[in-house]
Amino acid sequence: MEWIDTDAAGIYHNTSVVRFAEAAEAELMRTHGVPGYFPVAPRVRYEVEFEASIRFGQEVQTRVELIRLGRSSMTFGFEVWRNTEDGEPDRRAARGTYVTVHVPDKETGGSAPWPTAWRVALGSRAESDARHAH
């Protein structure tokens, strides 16, 4: 956890977990060979439960899982864990879900089905773990 991720007391900003989840999601898309995903997949819903603080200098681990692959939307679940000094997960700091929608045409703004190649690459479920020294 870097200083920019914290408030004046050295405790993480709530918005930091969004960046952590998106970094793990990016890794998931790279791992499964889904190029060009982020520019056409805006987030339309976020829900987060904050369970423990993360402090400046602590390492976090973020896990993202594709829960549902719909026709034009995806629902992800995520967890952010703070790690102990020895690198083992200590406590879950946040968990939640978010939804992305496939919007390939920014002019019309309407949703469209995910490309078949992406659906095949992601299969029915996909997961990603990302460790961040933030």
Total domains in the fold of the chain:
1
Q: Model's pTM, two decimal places? A: 0.84
Give the pLDDT score at 14. 82
Tokens found for residue 121: 């690459």
CATH number of domain containing 57: 3.10.129.10
Give the pLDDT score at 127. 55
Give the pLDDT score at 88. 61
Domain that residue 83 falls in: 3-132
d(CA 8, CA 84): 22
- Cα-based angle 48, 127, 51 (whole degrees, multiple of 5): 25
Residue numbers of the chain with a pLDDT score lower than 70 = 1, 3, 86-89, 124-134
123 secondary structure, DSSP code? -
